[in-house]
Amino acid sequence: MRTLIQLIKAAAVKLRDSKLKRLGGKEITAQLDMMAQRLGLDNKGEAVVFTALFDRSCAGRCSDLGDLASYFGCTQLEVMEYVPFVKSLLEKGLVVQTDLSECRLTNQNFLVANHVIGSVLENRRPEFRKSRILEKEFDRYDFCRLVDSQVQDSDVMSESLFQFVDSIERENSGMPLVRELAAVVEDLPARTLFYEMSYDFFSSDGNGRSDLTTTLRDMYEAYGVRFRERKSLLDGTHPLVRAGLVEVSGDHDSLELTVAGQRIFLGEDFGIFGKQYTGLDRFSFAREVSEYVHSSAHETKSPKALDKLAEKIRLMEDSNGSLECLAKIKGLIVEADIRALFYIVCNACAGGGSVSLNRELSSVYPIKERNAALKAFKEEKHKLQSLDLAEVVTESSLFGEYTVLKLTDKGKELYFGEDAELFMEKPDKKELILSKDIKEKRLFFSGKEQEQLRLVGDTLQEQNYQSLVARLEEKGLAKGIAVLLYGAPGTGKTESVLQWARESGRDVVHVDISAAKSMWYGESEKIVKDIFTRYKRLCRRSQIKPILLFNEADAIFSKRKAVGHGGSIDQTENTIQNIILEEMEKLEGILIATTNLADNLDRAFERRFLFKIRFEKPSVEVKRSIWLDKLPGLSPDDAARLASEYDFSGGEIDNVVRKATMVEVLDGTPPSIETIASLCGEEKIGKERIKIGFGGAKII
């Protein structure tokens, strides 16, 4: 029996230069049938192709269809009938394709596998096994590499290039890259450019850009066409730019794929190239956004800068869908550029600081959009402000004042969730009086005063306050509640405020007037602005709005001065008053001011107070009630005498009571009425207080 190699050799003699004729003879048919049986082939056609490929493979040569045509001495068209047999041999693993990136059938090269040649020489049937290499299909990378080989070939003219691309697109019409690109870009030359850019992208591990001038020169031999294509790319009319797949960058000298372009090209491999953004927590996400915006990758000079930024932000958000805060933020803020700015401020907050408003707007926006955003912030109309997620604050340093953007408490809660408490600013305990710490104190007033004070007290009860604010808003009126308490010292103005706060559950922000009038020129205005900024912040944080108390407000609520000899001091005081007037106009809370000098109050302030209550010196009857309340051991007659004989305010009666308490502590017994009368005589300085005394004693 003949060996396998003998059968192949005999068949080769008959087939070489046979023009694929005379294959019906008995001898050649018998040889081919025997060879097919011994090799495990399906038919005579496979035996014919295998014989030619084996013959050439033994000489160390690969064979394409043209080589097979030469071997048989026939036309390539006649060889095309044997292509199914070539594919069958490939599937059996008896033959391998040596150029896997070649998708054109006529140019593909084939070689008999080494293990098959070894089996034949050993005269045994070869094992059918598919090489792992063969499992790799012609993919998007091979496709783009093939296009690039034609683009780089200087002998290939533009028209031939596009005909070639059209033919391989047809042959690979089911490839996702080809199908998805054709769905959004109809222009064939534009698709060719996209394939070439995609090759540049993946051949440099996702960091590559395509040189604009060089790429157009490689694709087009005609200068006019190059210039026309360049113009359309720069002015945004090119099909790839309009589709958002490509952008011009680097001062118009290079092209790069956008995120959308990368998605179409990479398909399921998207994310392998470039920086990874998946699996981030809140802190690292905000940091990544900030780093991207501040990197050269985000160029605000580009006409498509905001589109590119939006694309990147959406990619980063989509890559971290597990972060619940991102979905909430996207629901509130549609604009990706504003979300990017918000994330930058969140990153600064996580680091314990704020960001420079001007610098960050310059990082995010081209100049036109930057100016519009800056104007919106200055007018307090920016979306981050209207949503109460960020606030503009003026801060000072050794180098002067600068404007910063900070997260509000609401912004911190939205982004940081359960960690927000870590970044909340604690109120200054020196200026905050908690309602729960205010002791109950009985106050006594005349009928008219009592009625006015009751009205304000009832208004400050939370349910009534909310109803009033809603009604004012409904009527388009100012929602702030401003109350002026004026009158002589010691008549209960401050204590009334504290008792209102205790009864309504409102904390009190107590303003230190002396601190507001700083000796440093220019600091006063900043301090006053900061008072209202901190109050607004506390209002947002509190379930019940606190009371902003300007106690003894004569110093800053007085009549404005004509700037003259006082110079900068008068100008500073007027500026402070203008700030307060402006803040009162847009107040959304409760402001109460007390003053002893109502006649010195500026008329502009007067009309901004919703309630104005005058505190008179207490009547005899009121003073009698105060004496009895403070010194329960007094008889009604003695209390009446003290009230009648001494023109005291409630505060002055408090002073006498305190001294009487000291006497009681030192002597061990309650003071007599004579002792109390003596203490009363010592309360005021330089004037005769009474004409008749107690127990015959004249007190002067």
**Which two three-digit tokens encode residue 419?**
């960690």
Q: How far apart are CA 642 and CA 644, in angstroms?
A: 5
Q: Where are the domains of the chain?
A: 4-135, 140-269, 282-423, 432-615, 620-696
Residues 6+ apart with CB under 8 A from 275: none
Q: What is the pLDDT of residues 381-397, one digit of tens each?
A: 999 999 989 988 877 65
Contact between residue 298 and residue 309 where contact means Cβ atoms under 8 Å apart: yes
**What is the distance in angstroms between the CA of the first residue and the CA of the last residue of the chain?**
153
- For residue 298, the model assigns a pLDDT of 67
Lowest-pLDDT range of 473-477, 489-493, 546-550, 686-690: 686-690
- For residue 566, the model assigns a pLDDT of 47
Residue 692 pLDDT grade (very low, low, confident, very high; cuts 50, 70, 90): very low
Q: Does domain 282-423 have CATH number 1.10.10?
A: yes
Q: How far apart are CA 590 and CA 610, in angstroms?
A: 10
What's the number of CA atoms in the CB half-sphere (13 Å) around residue 65? 18
558 DSSP assignment: B
Residue 133 pLDDT grade (very low, low, confident, very high; cuts 50, 70, 90): very low
* Residue 76 backbone dihedrals phi, psi, to 5 degrees: -65, -30
Please determine whether the domains at 4-135 and 432-615 fall in the same fold group of CATH: no
* Residue 310 backbone dihedrals phi, psi, to 5 degrees: -60, -40
Q: What is the pLDDT of residues 615-631, one digit of tens each?
A: 888 889 988 999 999 89
Residue 590 pLDDT grade (very low, low, confident, very high; cuts 50, 70, 90): very high
Helix (H, G, I), strand (E, B) or coil at 666: helix
Q: How far apart are CA 627 and CA 632, in angstroms?
A: 8
pTM of the model: 0.53
CA distances from 492 to 434, 436, 458, 643 (A): 19, 20, 18, 17
Contact between residue 364 and residue 377 where contact means Cβ atoms under 8 Å apart: no
What's the number of CA atoms in the CB half-sphere (13 Å) around residue 67? 17
CA distances from 490 to 608, 618, 650, 687 (A): 25, 10, 6, 19
- For residue 488, the model assigns a pLDDT of 83
Residues 6+ apart with CB under 8 A from 27: 14
Mean pLDDT, the chain, integer: 85
Q: How far apart are CA 342 and CA 359, in angstroms?
A: 14
Q: What is the pLDDT of residues 315-355, one digit of tens each?
A: 889 889 899 999 999 999 999 999 999 999 999 999 888 89
Q: How far apart are CA 253 and CA 209, in angstroms?
A: 10
Lowest-pLDDT range of 164-178, 464-478, 597-611: 597-611
Residues 6+ apart with CB under 8 A from 26: none
- Which CATH code, of 3.20.20.70, 1.10.10.920, 3.40.50.300, 2.40.10.120, is assigned to 432-615? 3.40.50.300
- For residue 521, the model assigns a pLDDT of 52
Reference 12, options 44, 49, 67; nearest CA is 49
Q: What is the pLDDT of residues 391-424, one digit of tens each?
A: 888 776 555 567 889 998 889 999 999 898 888 8
Structure-derived torsion over alpha carbons of residues 465, 468, 470, 475, reported in degrees to the nearest 10: -160
- For residue 175, the model assigns a pLDDT of 92
Percent of the chain with pLDDT over 70: 87
- For residue 252, the model assigns a pLDDT of 61
Q: How far apart are CA 128 and CA 114, in angstroms?
A: 12
Q: What is the pLDDT of residues 222-262, one digit of tens each?
A: 999 999 999 999 988 999 999 989 988 766 688 988 888 98
**Burial class, 428, CB count within 10 angstroms (exposed 0-12 / middle 13-18 / buried 19+):** exposed
Residue 433 confidence (pLDDT) above 50: yes
Q: Which residues sit opposite 601 in a β-bridge?
A: 558
- For residue 128, the model assigns a pLDDT of 81
Q: Does domain 4-135 have CATH number 2.60.40?
A: no
Q: What is the DSSP string of 77-145?
A: HHHGGGHHHHHHHHHHTSEEES-TT---GGG--EEE-HHHHHHHHTTSPPP----TGGG----HHHHHH
Residue 698 confidence (pLDDT) above 50: no
Contact between residue 123 and residue 141 where contact means Cβ atoms under 8 Å apart: no
- For residue 26, the model assigns a pLDDT of 83
Q: How far apart are CA 72 and CA 45, in angstroms?
A: 13
